[in-house]
């Protein structure tokens, strides 16, 4: 079940920093702030069928803000985000109860994709899940048809744990993917 070539969180983070350096003239990634929320809500509505109220984003920013990151473009402003929740649950890779970083939502605006921003957002979230919240695992749900996202998560060392039948409102199944961090 465990991804055979599991990259260390530190390695992924350094890799992401290097990728961001190469596009630093136009892009940066930083922790989200309250002034970013309207932009984040807009990206969420444009990019995903799973939408949340601004209040939900605010709540997760207040509760787990160190793991909530945004990608900023020099001219377009906020063009991507990753939002997380820290949960205490039985591990996927151990029998013990542990803190797990749940990736609740991630998206990058279409015209800013394939520049490693999704990778960097995930790397920053995983790094702060481990360092700031003492999480030992991270998990997420993804539509079984969402090839770009599944590829991204595999690249980051996530494995498919199980299929959750009809997880989404339109009846599509989800993969539950996870990795130790
Ligand atoms: C998934 C998403 C966040 C990826 O963002 P991104 O910034 O384009 O991703 P990156 O440039 O960091 O890509 C990193 C890796 O992911 C994979 N990947 C990303 N987009 C891909 C695509 N269209 N097709 C295949 N693989 C893809 C590749 O392995 C890529 O590495 P590579 O560029 O070296 O080949 C973006 O496509 C998106 O916002 N999609 C809509 C929202 C969504 O589906 N969110 C996830 C819900 S679970």
> Taking 60 as the threshold, does the pLDDT of residue 148 lie above it?
yes
Distance from the Cα of residue 102 to its chain's centroid? 8
Q: How far is the CA of 96 from the centre of ligand 1 (A)?
A: 32
pLDDT surpassing 60 at residue 85 = yes
Parallel/antiparallel/unpaired status of strands 137-143 and 77-90: unpaired
Q: How far is the CA of 138 from the centre of ligand 1 (A)?
A: 18
| 142 sits in which H/E element | strand 137-143
Q: How many A from CA of 157 to the centre of ligand 1?
A: 14
> In this predicted structure, what is the pLDDT of residue 5?
74
Which residues approach ligand 1 with their CB closer than 6 A?
A: 47-48, 106-108, 113-119, 142, 146-149, 151-152, 155
Q: Is the pLDDT of residue 1 over 70?
A: no
Task: For a ligand 1 pocket test, name from 12, 27, 148, 160 the mutation site with the most ligand atoms within 8 angstroms of its C-beta.
Answer: 148
Determine the longest span between alpha carbons in the chain, in angstroms.
47
Q: What pLDDT is attached to residue 140?
A: 98
In the chain, helix, strand, coil percent, each to 5?
40, 30, 30
- What percentage of the chain exceeds 90 in pLDDT? 97
Cα 97 to averaged position of ligand 1 atoms, centre (Å):
31
DSSP one-letter code for 34: G
Cβ–Cβ under 8 Å, residues 82 and 60: no
Name the closest-CA residue to atom 43, ligand 1. 107
Average pLDDT for 59-80: 98
Each residue's pLDDT tens digit, 103-147? 999 999 999 999 999 999 999 999 999 999 999 999 999 999 999
Pocket test for ligand 1, best of 29, 149, 164 (most atoms within 8 A of CB): 149
CATH of 9-137, one of 1.10.10.10, 3.40.630.30, 3.40.920.10, 3.40.250.10: 3.40.630.30
The reported pLDDT for the residue numbered 80 is 98
CB 179, CB 158: distance < 8 Å: yes
Handedness of CA 162, 170, 80, 98 (dihedral sign): negative
CA of 95 to the centre of ligand 1 (A): 32
- Extract the tokens encoding 100: 């797990």
pLDDT interval class at 174 (50, 70, 90): very high
Return the residue whose CA atom lies nearest to atom 42 of ligand 1. 107
Tokens of 134: 């003492």
Measured in Å, residue 152 CA sits from the centre of ligand 1 at 5
Q: What is the distance between the alpha carbons of residues 58 and 56, in angstroms, rounded to a whole number? A: 5
* Mean pLDDT, residues 41-53 taken together: 97
3-class DSSP state for residue 25? coil
pLDDT attached to residue 51: 94
**Domain coordinates of the chain in residue numbers?**
9-137
Q: Residue 161 and residue 37: Cα distance in Å, rounded?
A: 32
pLDDT of 82 over the 60 cut: yes
């Amino acid at each position: 079940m465990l991804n055979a070539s599991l990259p260390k969180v530190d390695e992924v983070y350094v890799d992401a920093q290097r990728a961001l350096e190469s596009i630093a003239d136009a892009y940066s990634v930083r922790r989200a702030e309250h002034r970013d929320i309207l932009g984040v809500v807009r990206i969420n509505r444009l990019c995903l069928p799973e939408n949340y109220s601004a209040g939900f984003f605010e709540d997760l920013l207040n509760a787990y803000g160190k793991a909530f990151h945004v990608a900023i473009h020099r001219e377009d402003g906020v063009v991507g985000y990753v939002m997380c929740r820290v949960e205490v649950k039985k591990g996927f890779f151990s029998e013990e109860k542990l803190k797990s970083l749940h990736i609740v939502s991630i998206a990058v605006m279409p015209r800013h994709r394939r520049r490693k921003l999704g990778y960097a957002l995930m790397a920053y979230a995983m790094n702060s899940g481990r360092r700031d919240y003492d999480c030992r695992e991270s998990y997420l749900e993804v539509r079984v048809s969402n090839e770009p996202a599944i590829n991204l998560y595999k690249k980051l060392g996530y494995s498919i744990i199980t299929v959750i039948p009809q997880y989404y409102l339109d009846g599509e199944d989800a993969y539950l993917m996870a990795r130790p961090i």
